[in-house]
Amino acid sequence: MTFREVCLSGEYRVAVLGATGVVGQEMVKVLEERNFPVASLRLLATERSAGKELEFRGEAVKIEKAGSSSFRNIDIALFSAGSAASRKFAPLAVKAGAVVIDNSSAFRMDNQVPLVVPEVNSQEIAGHNGIIANPNCSTIQLVVVLKPLLDKAGLQRVIVSTYQSVSGTGKDAVRELQSQTGALLRHRKAHRNIYPHQIAFNIIPHIGDFEDSGYTMEEMKMVHETRKILDMPDLAITATTARVPVFIGHTESVYVETVSVIPLKKLILLLLKSPGIKLVDDTANNKYPLPIMTEIYDEVLVGRIRRDLSIETGLNMWIVANNLRKGAALNAVQIAELLPQDKADRPEEK
Amino acid sequence: MTFREVCLSGEYRVAVLGATGVVGQEMVKVLEERNFPVASLRLLATERSAGKELEFRGEAVKIEKAGSSSFRNIDIALFSAGSAASRKFAPLAVKAGAVVIDNSSAFRMDNQVPLVVPEVNSQEIAGHNGIIANPNCSTIQLVVVLKPLLDKAGLQRVIVSTYQSVSGTGKDAVRELQSQTGALLRHRKAHRNIYPHQIAFNIIPHIGDFEDSGYTMEEMKMVHETRKILDMPDLAITATTARVPVFIGHTESVYVETVSVIPLKKLILLLLKSPGIKLVDDTANNKYPLPIMTEIYDEVLVGRIRRDLSIETGLNMWIVANNLRKGAALNAVQIAELLPQDKADRPEEK
């Protein structure tokens, strides 16, 4: 069966690489929740996880060890196993005929690879050569909100400070926050293994390695990826990223200076009708985005919208999203959902 | 004994109003730690706390109910019992001859009242009329760092996002974070009483009431107080303040645009020699300011200093300080330490 035939049949043979990770598990959940047309599901992981099972549509699916032949007869491969695994397996998967949607940073800045947030630049999907990159979690929720602003009023500069949850680091980090918190509440020592400092009841301004510039990799991802997704290579954007003792949900305090003034009421209306956004901005009733809300909402939550009282084109916003879902698994599946229309007529897939 | 005579004797009769609060208790500790020349110490609180005891220099001091005659024979009264108590008792204390150093927001924006951070504007102390205001915790740590920058390179604009600990709210908030965290770790419901939302494993962008502008009182305190302390009534400054599940230590992600470019090395040297600042900026060894460090350090901790790669005059910094000490009790006692030189020759105090 060719990719084209599969596309026309409307059912995909899907593989998830890194299926036991926090994002991988979420990918399987999202495929089911969104009724993604899955003909078959292959779950791949390292040898350590092989033999375990995950449930999909009420059936147990056995996890297989990823290998060079794992992507035979796969149409769509969702990758979330880290950059090294992506570099190793993506070329094999593409060669086997699959389209790879990669959640790692391996190919994001590759000129040949589209970096896609469906609400922002879905048109880029058509140009792919077998790999489509899923942006960094903190970038995704930012650009979903920046895009309508850019289109309406232009972007002069962006200054972001983040409050990122530990699930962004993975399962072991979630356990570390749990165990440290429990220990400290019992007046015991908080042992650390994943983070360079205690994360319980603390804030760590260090996500990813430090570069010579003094910025972390995470901060520079936000800069480079935002520029690529918005197609603004010279956008003035700077970020400070910090890890906070929160399990799920990334928060961003975002300062935006637009080119032209956009009245606040117009901005609210604009965001209300923009895709993927849920406005939570009713301070009179103590309503504003909170990380714990992301257990319920898949949208990017925006609130605390207000004008910089000293600069007419300046705006402050508070942006929260589920880093495992919109920041990773959901965005990847949304890309997959856009594949058929774009891909069915492309002759090179077979 | 007149204030002048007491000043010349070098010993002060000190009162602490709000002695059982988190800041009040810290005031008593700081007075002892810094060997403040205390001739006598009177601890004042509401009726609820009267009769309890606090230790000072190895002796138990009984807490008295604050009343209209509580400030007789008091030279220095440190207030930390909220704005209502300050408005009620400050005039009485001043009339009785005491100098009030007030940690509430009651008088901070009063033109007749100096708003003082000793490292920044100690010269203002001389102009007091009996009351000196202690700024808001998040303002203090900010201006200690902004002042040398202002003097060296001028300030064009300031954009701040905060990560504020629950002790800034008080003892009940500390207990709420403890109990909610414990409950959630045991998969029980997190009851809330102090904050409008769960604070454990969450971030709440809401400190103080909301104003019509959409800003909170805390955010506007940072704007107004910073302008007053730096004597820059038109400074372009905007803030987003958030409560985080941290017990002690406020964190600020600060973006500063200076008027002239200051080379990064010069800035580091400048901050190294500036009063009240401890540089913690060695990313190669994972060293940067953390809230848990404020259990040890009284200085304002600054790190993650780096140039905005897209704007030559833009700088990012990460500023952390102990909100109960430098942000409140310590700053108040530092003001008291500067009183004698300034006040002994002023004839109006008696």
Domains and their CATH numbers in chain A: 3-135+328-343 (3.40.50.720), 139-323 (3.30.360.10)
Q: Are B66 and B102 in contact (CB under 8 A)?
A: no
What does the mean pLDDT of chain A come to? 94
pLDDT of B177 over the 90 cut: yes
Compute the nearest-CA separation of B246 from chain A (Å).
Answer: 4
- In angstroms, the CA B6 to CA B1 distance is 6
Chain A CB contacts of B306 below 8 Å: 213-215
Task: Report the phi/psi class of residue A57: left, alpha or beta, with left for phi > 0 and alpha for psi in -120 to 50.
Answer: left
Q: What is the mean pLDDT of residues A49-61?
A: 96
C-alpha closest to that of A116 among A264, A338, A350, A348: A338
Q: What is the mean pLDDT of residues B223-234?
A: 98
* H, E, C per residue of chain A: CCHHHHHHHCCEEEEEECCCCHHHHHHHHHHHHCCCCEEEEEEEECHHHCCCEEEECCEEEEEEECCCCCCCCCCEEEECCCHHHHHHHHHHHHHCCCEEEECCCCCCCCCCCCECCHHHHHHHHHHCCCEEECCCHHHHHHHHHHHHHHHHHCEEEEEEEEEECHHHCCHHHHHHHHHHHHHHHCCCCCCCCCCCCCCCCCCECCCCCECCCCCEHHHHHHHHHHHHHCCCCCCEEEEECCECCCCCCEEEEEEEEECCCCCHHHHHHHHHHCCCEEECCEHHHCECCCHHHHHCCCCEEEEEEEECCCCCCEEEEEEEECCCHHHHHHHHHHHHHHHHHHHCCCCCCC
Could you say which residues from 312 to 341 on chain A have a Cβ atom under 8 Å away from some Cβ of chain B?
Answer: 314, 316, 318
- In angstroms, the CA A157 to CA A164 distance is 22
* Percent of residues, chain A, with pLDDT higher than 70: 94
Nearest CA in chain B to A293: B202
pLDDT of A349 over the 50 cut: no
Rounded to the nearest 10°, the torsion over CA A98, A99, A101, A106 is: 80
Nearest CA in chain B to A251: B203
The answer to whether residue B297 neighbours chain A at the CB level (below 8 Å) is no
What does the mean pLDDT of chain B come to? 94
CA atoms within a 13 Å half-sphere pointing along the CA-CB vector of A165: 30
pLDDT of A161 over the 50 cut: yes
C-alpha closest to that of B204 among A241, A143, A283: A283
pLDDT band for B3, please (50, 70, 90 cuts): low
Q: What is the mean pLDDT of residues A35-56?
A: 95
The catalytically annotated residue of B7, B128, B137, B224 is: B137
Long-range contacts of B6-9 (CB under 8 A, 24+ apart): B6/B39, B6/B75, B7/B75, B7/B339, B7/B340, B7/B343, B7/B344, B8/B344, B9/B39
The values of phi and psi at residue A103, to 5°, are: -90, -5
Could you say which residues from 186 to 215 on chain A have a Cβ atom under 8 Å away from some Cβ of chain B?
Answer: 196-198, 201-206, 210, 213-215
Annotated catalytic residue B250: yes
Angle among Cα B33, B38, B44 to the nearest 5 degrees reads 95
* Percent of residues, chain A, with pLDDT higher than 90: 94
Residue B204 amino acid letter: I
| 3-class secondary structure, B86 | helix
Residues A210, B284: C-beta atoms closer than 8 Å:
yes
Give helix A171-185 / helix B171-185 axis angle, nearest 10°. Answer: 130
Residues A242, B255: C-beta atoms closer than 8 Å:
no
Compute the nearest-CA separation of B292 from chain A (Å).
Answer: 6
Go through chain B and tell me how many residues it has. 350
CA atoms within a 13 Å half-sphere pointing along the CA-CB vector of B264: 15
Angle among Cα B153, B155, B156 to the nearest 5 degrees reads 120
Q: E strands along chain B, which residues?
A: 12-17, 38-45, 53-56, 59-65, 76-79, 99-102, 131-133, 155-163, 236-240, 250-258, 277-279, 300-307, 314-321
The catalytically annotated residue of B7, B128, B224, B250 is: B250
pLDDT of B1 over the 70 cut: no
Q: Are A241 and A219 in contact (CB under 8 A)?
A: yes
Chain A CB contacts of B251 below 8 Å: 203, 205, 242
C-alpha closest to that of A35 among A5, A55, A56, A52: A56
Give the nearest partner residue to A290 out of B202, B215, B235, using CB atoms: B202
Chain B CB contacts of A286 below 8 Å: 196-197, 206
C-alpha closest to that of A125 among A319, A287, A335: A335
Instruction: Fill in the DSSP letter of residue B201.
Output: T
Residues A214, B305: C-beta atoms closer than 8 Å:
yes
Nearest CA in chain B to A288: B205
Q: Are A180 and A268 in contact (CB under 8 A)?
A: no
A215-231 residue pLDDT tens: 999 999 999 999 999 99
pLDDT band for A343, please (50, 70, 90 cuts): very low
Residues A182, B185: C-beta atoms closer than 8 Å:
yes
Residues A308, B197: C-beta atoms closer than 8 Å:
no
Sheet of B277-279, strands arranged across? B236-240, B155-163, B250-258, B314-321, B300-307, B277-279
Given this model, what pLDDT does residue A10 score? 74
The values of phi and psi at residue A290, to 5°, are: -130, 145
B73-106 residue pLDDT tens: 999 999 999 999 999 999 999 999 999 999 999 9
Residues A292, B242: C-beta atoms closer than 8 Å:
no
Mutate to test the interface with A, among B158, B160, B161, B285 (most CBs of A within 10 A): B161
pLDDT of B345 over the 50 cut: no
Residues B308, A236: C-beta atoms closer than 8 Å:
yes
Instruction: Fill in the DSSP letter of residue B145.
Output: H
Residues A240, B316: C-beta atoms closer than 8 Å:
yes
Q: Are B16 and B23 in contact (CB under 8 A)?
A: no
pLDDT of A75 over the 50 cut: yes
Residues A203, B237: C-beta atoms closer than 8 Å:
no
The answer to whether residue A310 neighbours chain B at the CB level (below 8 Å) is yes
Given this model, what pLDDT does residue A8 score? 62
CA A89 to chain centre: 20
Compute the nearest-CA separation of B161 from chain A (Å).
Answer: 7
Given this model, what pLDDT does residue B348 score? 45
Q: Which residues of A are catalytic?
A: 137, 250
Sheet of A236-240, strands arranged across? A236-240, A155-163, A250-258, A314-321, A300-307, A277-279
Given this model, what pLDDT does residue A350 score? 37
B272-320 residue pLDDT tens: 999 999 999 999 999 999 999 999 999 999 999 999 999 999 999 999 9
Instruction: Fill in the DSSP letter of residue B113.
Output: S
Compute the nearest-CA separation of A94 from chain B (Å).
Answer: 36
Give the nearest partner residue to A255 out of B159, B286, B318, using CB atoms: B159
Compute the nearest-CA separation of B133 from chain A (Å).
Answer: 25
- In angstroms, the CA B291 to CA A332 distance is 36
Residues B290, A182: C-beta atoms closer than 8 Å:
no
- In angstroms, the CA A163 to CA A243 distance is 6
pLDDT of A344 over the 50 cut: no
- The pTM (predicted TM-score) of the whole model is 0.95
Chain B CB contacts of A222 below 8 Å: none
Both tokens of residue B346?
């002023």
Given this model, what pLDDT does residue B343 score? 42
Given this model, what pLDDT does residue B8 score? 61
Mutate to test the interface with A, among B304, B305, B307, B308 (most CBs of A within 10 A): B304
Nearest CA in chain B to A318: B205
Q: Are A132 and A102 in contact (CB under 8 A)?
A: yes
pLDDT band for B10, please (50, 70, 90 cuts): confident
A238-283 residue pLDDT tens: 999 999 999 999 999 999 999 999 999 999 999 999 999 999 999 9
pLDDT of A314 over the 50 cut: yes
- In angstroms, the CA B258 to CA B267 distance is 11
- In angstroms, the CA A117 to CA A121 distance is 6
Could you say which residues from 147 to 186 on chain B have a Cβ atom under 8 Å away from some Cβ of chain A?
Answer: 157, 159, 161, 163, 177-178, 181-182, 185
Residue B337 amino acid letter: E
Chain A CB contacts of B204 below 8 Å: 290
C-alpha closest to that of B339 among B103, B116, B15, B139: B116
Compute the nearest-CA separation of A341 from chain B (Å).
Answer: 39
Q: What is the mean pLDDT of residues A60-65?
A: 97
The answer to whether residue A233 neighbours chain B at the CB level (below 8 Å) is no
Chain B CB contacts of A245 below 8 Å: 201, 244-246
Q: How many CB pairs under 8 A join A and B?
A: 159
Given this model, what pLDDT does residue A6 score? 61
- Residue linked to tokens 């495992």: A324
Rounded to the nearest 10°, the torsion over CA B293, B314, A245, A84 is: -110
pLDDT of B251 over the 60 cut: yes
Strands B250-258 and B155-163: antiparallel
Q: Are A229 and A121 in contact (CB under 8 A)?
A: yes
- Regarding an ipTM greater than 0.90, the answer is yes
Q: E strands along B197-342, which residues?
A: 236-240, 250-258, 277-279, 300-307, 314-321
A110-130 residue pLDDT tens: 999 999 999 999 999 999 999
